[in-house]
A = this chain, B = another copy of it.
Amino acid sequence: MIGESVKIAVVGLGTVGTGLIRTLQENRATIRARCGVDLELRSVCVRSLRKKRAVTLRPGILTTDRRAVLDDPQVDIVVELVGGTGAAAEIVMGALQRGKHVVTANKALLAERWTELFSLARRRGCGIQFEASVMAGVPVVRVLNEGLAGNAVESMLGVLNGTTNYILTRIAADGMDYRAALRQARARGICEADPRLDVQGVDAAYKLSILGSIALGQWLPPGSVHREGITHLEAKDIRYARELFSYHPKLLAIFKHKNRRVEARVHPAFVPVSHPLAAVVDEYNAVYITARPVGSIMLYGRGAGALSAASAVASDIIHLARAVSSGVSGRILTPVAFSGKAATPVPIEEVRSKYYMRFTVADRPGVLSRISGAFGQEGVSIESVYQPRVRGEGADIVMVTHEAQDGAVKRACGRLVRMRDIVRRSPAVVRIEEGEYAGRDH
């Protein structure tokens, strides 16, 4: 097969598919040099032949016959850009069953059916590449799978959803309110079709499931990722956290793995302004990985968008094409290690963290001592307390705890809520993630 062209079929011609075909056309010479062979686009499967397309294709390339594409013995690599877990699953499984390699950008499909997909790929000796599924063109999948191949990953802190990061940046930097920031994100075209997938952390949980599964070498089911969205985060707390404690708000996807104990959670969190993740603003994404022996590294970039995703899909195609052209096709290509067992993260109540909290209380003597007493009874110790301003009907008390167990903090908050004479409403609670990083002590 060496020296011949490698033949690819693309299923789905939306913005990513269009960007991909343009990339393959524009960077043809570079790609040939890197692959050692020519890539030949053999078919592009779409739903309608009549729609106007933003790319020029040779006659006969466009088709609506998905089965014919899968059955074409000439096709080496099938690129699934349909999305969702319905037709996409049939395409991916169908291609693997026929011994074809697969490139997919489909985070939901991968996260939901990880073990099944990689088992099938292994049985058939095929590769599945999925760089675009997390952080689009920022090559975090390849970095975990290959660049850090000799490492044990101990933690990952990810800003994996661009929409929520954009919203939080607008609230924190421009003082915008949540509704206005969400409207602006929609106007900018960076939301999922259903923005609830963004703001409730579903998108980030899928991505964390994929990164965690690679790091663990076993499936981390998306349903096992503890998930809280940003809809309950108040602008007031973002302001207090910034002004009183120098924290920035992020929707963090957190993975930790130490002594066979796995944590996997997506929730709003405050990070120190000097943390490299705090500089990740607007719709940008980043992941801060700590591993043995490498230490800490961070990858940063635009984690969404047609061109960024097209870059990732192109790199996956080139990766597989190299293998096909050097004759390894038909043997195991996927570097994803996995066991059949799914990982089970510890319940959120057992997770330890620092906490930011705000209470609205009656403005009278002895309140602070009763509040700190409630925390003391649950073994939660307080690092600092402020009473930033007094209002007509009550005062805000803002505090940061030392590291404490989530369950203990919840129990302490339960005690407070029962103190009806002094506590006016449920406290605002946000976890704090500090970690180790360069410049922490400056």
A residues whose Cβ falls under 8 Å from a Cβ of B: 2, 19, 22-24, 26-27, 30-31, 33-34, 36, 131, 136-139, 142-143, 145-152, 169, 173-174, 217, 274, 276, 278-284, 291-302, 305, 307-308, 310-312, 314-315, 317-319, 322-323, 326-328, 331-333, 335, 337, 438-439, 442
Contact = CB atoms under 8 A, between A and B. Distances in A.
A24 to B, nearest CB: 7
Contacts of A30: 150-152, 217, 337
9 contacts: A24-B150, A26-B292, A27-B150, A30-B217, A31-B149, A143-B147, A294-B301, A294-B311, A299-B300
* Interface SS, A side: mixed
B311 A150 contact: yes
A430 B328 CA distance: 52
A391 B319 CA distance: 63
Tallying the copies of this chain within the complex gives: 2
A285 B125 CA distance: 39
A147 B151 contact: no
B302 A300 contact: no
B315 A293 contact: no
Given A293-B310, A302-B296, A315 B148 contact: yes
Given A295-B307, A332-B36, A335-B34, A315 B27 contact: no
Contact of A295 (B26, B217, B301, B322): B301
A158 to B, nearest CB: 14
Nearest to A145: B34
A169 B138 CA distance: 28
A318 B149 contact: yes
Contacts of A294: 136-138, 301-302, 307-308, 311-312
9 interchain residue pairs of minimum CB distance: A139-B147, A150-B314, A297-B301, A33-B337, A137-B294, A294-B311, A293-B307, A281-B439, A298-B300
Q: Which of A149, A173, A174, A327 has the most CB of B within 10 A?
A: A149
A19 B300 contact: no
A30 B150 CA distance: 7
